[in-house]
C-alpha cells in the first residue's frame, strides 16, 4: 500500500509537470507563429530514383564485380552524352527566336513528361479527401499539358456526400485537361467506384472488386424494447419528413416509403453520374448493387485494362518522370500535447506494472 501511495503522488507530480511544460510550449509556439499557421506540407518522392536504386542493388548482387563496374561506366558515359545533347539543344534554342508559345519538334521530343501519383485509401467517411484536395491543388500549380495523374484507389465506399466530394476533387484534374488514370489493386466499390469512373481509364488487378453501384441504408429499431421496459421515446419535429425512420421511435409505413423514395433518388443520381462519365456502360445491367472481380469487370466495361498499379508505373517510368505526392497535416499544439501526455502516462504505467510484478513474483 505504501508503494501505491508513493507512486500515486509521483504520477500526479509527473502529469502536472508535463501539462505545465505543454502549456508553456503552446504559448511560445503561438507567439512564434504570430497568428499565421501552416496547415501542413507536401512530400514529394521521385519513384524513378527508387526503381533505379532497386535495379542497382540487384545488379551489384548478381553481376561479377568487373561486369558491374563496366556497366556503371557505360551508363555514366551515356548520361554524360545526354547532358551534352541537352546543352546543345539549349544553345540552339537561345539562338533561335521563335514565338514564346511555340515549341520545336526536337524540343518536344527531348522533354520528358511527368506523372504525379496520389494514394487514396478510403474509409466510410472518405477521410483521405482532405489530404487529396491539397495534393491536387499543389500539382495543378505546375502541371502542364501532357502530364498525367495516377490515383491508386482503395475503397469499399461510404457516405454519399463524402464520396461525392472526393469524386468532385478528381473532376478538377479532368477540368485542367490532364490525363487521369485510376489504378485499383484491391477494391473500388460503391462510392469508391464513383471516384474511379472519373478517370480517363481504369486499371484493375485480376481479382480486384469493382461495382456495387447501389445505395444502402440500415439501422436497428429499439422501440419495442423500450416499450417492454415502460420507456417512452418522444421525437418532436417541424416538417413532415424531417425524420422518416428512427432508432428509438415507432416507425410508420409512410416514413418507410419516404425513406425508400430518397434511396431511389440517390441511386438515380449515382447511375447518372457513372453513365455520364462512362457512356459505354450498360448502366441498367451493372447498377444492380453487384460487384465483379477485375477479370469479369472488364467484360462489363467497368474497367479498361487488367493491370496492377506497380506494373503500370514501372512501364511509365521508362519514358516519364514519376513523382509520388503525399500531404501531411500539421498537428496542432493541442494534439501534440495530448499525444505527449498519453505517451508519458503509458511509460509511467509500464514502469509501475514492471515494478509491481517484480514485487509480486520476486
* Catalytic site residue from 32, 95, 145, 242: 242
Catalytic, 275? Answer no
**Which of 190, 212, 275, 309 is flagged as catalytic?**
190
Cα angle, residue 76 at apex, residues 70 and 80 outer, rounded to 5°: 145
336 noted as active-site residue = no
Using H for helix, E for strand and C for coil, what is the string for the chain?
A: CHHHHHHHHHHHHHHHHHHHHHHHHHHHHHHHHCCCCCCEEEEEEEHHHHHHHHHHHHHHHHCCHHHHHHHHHHHHHHHHHHHHHHHHHHHHHHHCCCCCCCCCHHHHHHCCCEEEEEEEECCCCCCCHHHHHHHHHHHHCCCCCCCEEEEEEEECCCCHHHHHHHHHHHHHHHHCCCEEEEEECCEEECHHHHHHCCCCEEEECCCCEEECCCCCCCCCCCHHHHHHCCCCCCCCCCCCCCCCCCCCCCCCHHHHHHHHHHHHHHHHHHHHHHHHHCCCCCHHHHCCCCEEEHHHHCCCCCCCEECCHHHHHHHHHCCCEEEEEEEEECCCHHHHHHHHHHHHHHHHHHHHHHHHHHHHHC
- Active-site positions? 190, 242
Amino acid at each position: 500500500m505504501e508503494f501505491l501511495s508513493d507512486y500515486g503522488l509521483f504520477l500526479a507530480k509527473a502529469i502536472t509537470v508535463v501539462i505545465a511544460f505543454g502549456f508553456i510550449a503552446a504559448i511560445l509556439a503561438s507567439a512564434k507563429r504570430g497568428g499565421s499557421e501552416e496547415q501542413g506540407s507536401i512530400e514529394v518522392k521521385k519513384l524513378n530514383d527508387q526503381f533505379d536504386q532497386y535495379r542497382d542493388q540487384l545488379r551489384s548482387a548478381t553481376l561479377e564485380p568487373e561486369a558491374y563496374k563496366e556497366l556503371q561506366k557505360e551508363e555514366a558515359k551515356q548520361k554524360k552524352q545526354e547532358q551534352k545533347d541537352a546543352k546543345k539543344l539549349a544553345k540552339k534554342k537561345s539562338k533561335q527566336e521563335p514565338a514564346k508559345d511555340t515549341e520545336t519538334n526536337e524540343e518536344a521530343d527531348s522533354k520528358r513528361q511527368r506523372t504525379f501519383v496520389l494514394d487514396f485509401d478510403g474509409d466510410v467517411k472518405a477521410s483521405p479527401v482532405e489530404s487529396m484536395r491539397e495534393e491536387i491543388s499543389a500539382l495543378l500549380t505546375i502541371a502542364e499539358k501532357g502530364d498525367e495523374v495516377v490515383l491508386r484507389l482503395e475503397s469499399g465506399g461510404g457516405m454519399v456526400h463524402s464520396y461525392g466530394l472526393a469524386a468532385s476533387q478528381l473532376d478538377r484534374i479532368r477540368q485542367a485537361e490532364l490525363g487521369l488514370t485510376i489504378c485499383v489493386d484491391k477494391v473500388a466499390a460503391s462510392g469508391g467506384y464513383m471516384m474511379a469512373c472519373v478517370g480517363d481509364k481504369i486499371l484493375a488487378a485480376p481479382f480486384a472488386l469493382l461495382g456495387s453501384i447501389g445505395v444502402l441504408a440500415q439501422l436497428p429499431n429499439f422501440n419495442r424494447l423500450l416499450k417492454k421496459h415502460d420507456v417512452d421515446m418522444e421525437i418532436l419535429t417541424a416538417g413532415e419528413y424531417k425524420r422518416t425512420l428512427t432508432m428509438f421511435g415507432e416507425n410508420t409505413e409512410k416514413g418507410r416509403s419516404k425513406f425508400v423514395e430518397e434511396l431511389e433518388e440517390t441511386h438515380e443520381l449515382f447511375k447518372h453520374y457513372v453513365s455520364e462519365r462512362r457512356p459505354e456502360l450498360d448502366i441498367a445491367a451493372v447498377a444492380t448493387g453487384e460487384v465483379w472481380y477485375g477479370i469479369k469487370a472488364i467484360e462489363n466495361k467497368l474497367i479498361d485494362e487488367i493491370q496492377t498499379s506497380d506494373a503500370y508505373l514501372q512501364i511509365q517510368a521508362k519514358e516519364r518522370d514519376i513523382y509520388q505526392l503525399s500531404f501531411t497535416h500539421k498537428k496542432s499544439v493541442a494534439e501534440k500535447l495530448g499525444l505527449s501526455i498519453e505517451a508519458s502516462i503509458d511509460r509511467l504505467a509500464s514502469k509501475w506494472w514492471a515494478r509491481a510484478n517484480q514485487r509480486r513474483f520476486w
